[in-house]
């Protein structure tokens, strides 16, 4: 008998996580930094639950070794990445936001070392035909089945993986076309994990039945066939924008509304203006040209037609209902979408950053739950406080790429030090100014510049007058885009800043 692997104990620091693992590689778009991958596995691939199980057991079971490939002095983890990431996180629970009583001190893990990659790949393939593959997320299954299908594996043989491999091929081929149009935003919607923003694979699958209206169909071999590129592109970008604004949308929403759901996409630019409907051959116009009473026609420059392939959502606060959306108030609408027409209004921020302190989250919720009609002064004050606390949090807790926070850079020295000594109090005007200097996008930078801290300060300290409810609401509405920018995923935030200054 030929022995292909060797059992061994390997130091944790020598175990390298595999960012190209087929279970999650396609949806992971973070950096090569290990901590980014650990965070992704914890909060998008359910490794947090694995970590808690290991913590409760108070051991890493030796009868479940990792399968690794020898790589010089290190070992690449080919099977067991979530377990390995969990242990690395348990050794530093505060860093990774794990809710455990104390940190563990696991220095070595049991592994099976393979020297031949083909031997290990074959072992993994055999394992995938059993229970392990069935634990994968649906999009990960689809991508793996599609890969096997394209390399010649028959549909029948893949029924060991899943009872309906043809449906997985449809999903994967749809994914590869859609991701070309809205890469990172689309991927985020498909990722699993906590919260409502991800896990939308089933929503897109439910809408397959309306594929002809959306410009595509499936061939006999189950791969996607795009019949109308304009319609398909409009559909994908509009769906991405809509789901970002309406993260509570689920398969039940589609089942309840059926084909009427597509009407919800009109404020986002679907169907495209003056295009021939691919399912009927007729010409239709999107709501981008639909007008409300007394308003002029809106141009098709909204969410579904951004040049860089990233959807720019028109804010919405409503749950999908009858296909109608509220008309925005000109006094509070985003300047970039202020043309008259049918659009939805977002009433609170949706953010994606992980490990936000509970007190800060509660502060944001309190700010947006305050009724401006009864408490205009309080809402005005809370808007300023929420901005200041969020700004301070991200400057003091965003890793600039070398393990140190933004606040440690020379760019912020004038804020945190005076004559070589730490400042006793934070000058938020100065902190806001220094942070705004880093923002690359001119539109976002202008929004930060226009958010006047002193104006709100003067309002709430004026005992002669009461704050105006409409102004309090407007201030809070203008804060939404600022909070969403600051509390986007950490890696995305860094990409949005001029890193040469930090």
pLDDT score of 309 more than 70? no
More confident residue, 307 or 232: 232
Mean pLDDT score across all residues of the chain = 81
Mean pLDDT of 261-279: 83
All structural domains of the chain, each given as residue ranges with its CATH number in brackets, are 5-136 (3.90.1530.10), 179-337 (no CATH), 358-501 (no CATH)
Length of the chain: 502
Q: pLDDT of 127-162, one tens digit each?
A: 655 555 666 778 888 888 888 888 888 888 777 667
Closest CA to 134 of 153, 170, 160, 167: 160
pLDDT score of 236 more than 80? yes
Q: Please report the pLDDT score of residue 301 as a whole number.
A: 34
Q: pLDDT of 334-385, one tens digit each?
A: 433 333 333 445 678 988 898 899 899 999 999 999 998 889 999 999 999 9
Q: Please report the pLDDT score of residue 135 as a whole number.
A: 67
> Which structure tokens are listed for 239?
């769906």
Do 481 and 346 meet the contact criterion of CB atoms below 8 Å apart? no
Q: pLDDT of 87-103, one tens digit each?
A: 999 999 989 988 888 88
Mean pLDDT of 449-455: 88
User: What confidence category does residue 498 fall into, taking pLDDT thresholds of 50, 70 and 90?
Assistant: very high
b (16+ CB within 10 A) / e for 280-318: eeeeeebbbeeeeeeeeebebebbbbeeebbbbbbbbee
- 3-state SS of 237-269 is HHHHHHHHHCCCCCHHHHHHHHHHHHHHHHHHC
Distances (CA, A) of 254 to 170, 207, 260: 19, 7, 9
Residue 473 to residue 159: CA distance in whole angstroms: 56
Q: Please report the pLDDT score of residue 140 as a whole number.
A: 83
Burial of 252 (0-12, 13-18, 19+ CB in 10 A): exposed
Whether omega before 83 lies within 30 degrees of 0, making that bond cis, reads: no
Q: pLDDT of 380-420, one tens digit each?
A: 999 999 999 999 999 999 998 888 899 999 999 999 988 88
Do 165 and 171 meet the contact criterion of CB atoms below 8 Å apart? no
Do 103 and 149 meet the contact criterion of CB atoms below 8 Å apart? no
pLDDT score of 226 more than 60? yes
User: What confidence category does residue 199 fall into, taking pLDDT thresholds of 50, 70 and 90?
Assistant: confident
């Amino acid at each position: 008998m030929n022995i292909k692997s060797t059992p061994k104990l390997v130091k944790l620091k020598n175990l390298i996580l595999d960012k190209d693992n087929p279970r999650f590689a396609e949806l992971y778009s973070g950096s090569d930094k290990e901590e980014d991958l650990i965070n992704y596995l914890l909060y998008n691939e359910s490794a947090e639950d694995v970590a808690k199980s290991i913590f409760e057991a108070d051991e890493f079971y030796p009868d479940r070794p990792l399968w690794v490939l020898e790589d010089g002095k290190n070992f690449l983890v080919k099977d067991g990445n979530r377990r390995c990431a969990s242990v690395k996180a348990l050794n530093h629970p505060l860093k990774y936001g794990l809710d455990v009583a104390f940190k563990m001190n696991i220095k070595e893990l049991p592994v099976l070392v393979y020297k031949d990659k083909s031997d290990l790949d074959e072992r993994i393939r055999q394992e995938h035909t059993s229970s392990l593959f069935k634990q994968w997320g649906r999009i990960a299954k689809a991508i793996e089945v599609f890969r096997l299908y394209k390399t010649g594996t028959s549909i029948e043989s893949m029924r060991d993986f899943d009872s309906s491999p043809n449906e997985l091929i449809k999903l994967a081929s749809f994914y590869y076309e859609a991701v070309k149009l809205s890469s990172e935003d689309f991927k985020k919607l498909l990722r699993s994990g906590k919260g409502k923003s991800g896990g939308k694979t089933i929503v897109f699958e439910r809408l397959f039945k309306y594929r002809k209206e959306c410009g595509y169909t499936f061939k006999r071999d189950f791969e996607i066939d795009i019949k109308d590129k304009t319609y398909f592109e409009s559909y994908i970008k509009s769906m991405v924008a809509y789901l970002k604004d309406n993260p509570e949308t689920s398969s039940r929403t589609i089942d309840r509304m059926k084909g009427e759901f597509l009407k919800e996409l009109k404020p986002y630019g679907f169907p495209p203006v003056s295009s021939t409907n691919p399912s009927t051959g007729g010409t239709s116009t999107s709501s981008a040209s639909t007008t409300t009473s007394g308003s002029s026609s809106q141009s098709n420059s909204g969410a579904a037609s951004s040049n860089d392939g990233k959807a720019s959502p028109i804010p919405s606060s409503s749950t999908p209902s009858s296909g109608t959306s509220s008309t925005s108030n000109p006094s509070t609408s985003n300047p970039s979408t202020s043309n008259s027409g049918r659009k939805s209004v977002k009433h609170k921020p949706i953010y994606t950053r992980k490990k936000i302190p509970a007190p800060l989250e509660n502060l944001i919720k309190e700010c947006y739950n305050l009724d401006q009609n009864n408490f205009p002064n309080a809402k005005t004050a809370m808007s300023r406080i929420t901005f200041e606390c969020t700004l301070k949090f991200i400057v003091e807790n965003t890793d600039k790429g070398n393990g140190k926070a933004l606040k440690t850079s020379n760019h912020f020295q004038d804020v945190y030090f005076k004559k070589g000594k730490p400042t006793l109090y934070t000058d938020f005007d100065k902190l806001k100014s220094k942070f705004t200097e880093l923002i690359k996008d001119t539109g976002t930078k202008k929004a930060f510049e226009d958010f006047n801290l002193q104006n709100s300060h003067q309002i709430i300290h004026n005992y002669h007058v009461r704050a105006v409810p409409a102004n309090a609401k407007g201030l809070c509405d203008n804060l939404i885009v600022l909070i969403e920018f600051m509390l986007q995923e950490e890696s995305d935030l860094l990409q949005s800043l001029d890193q040469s200054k930090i």
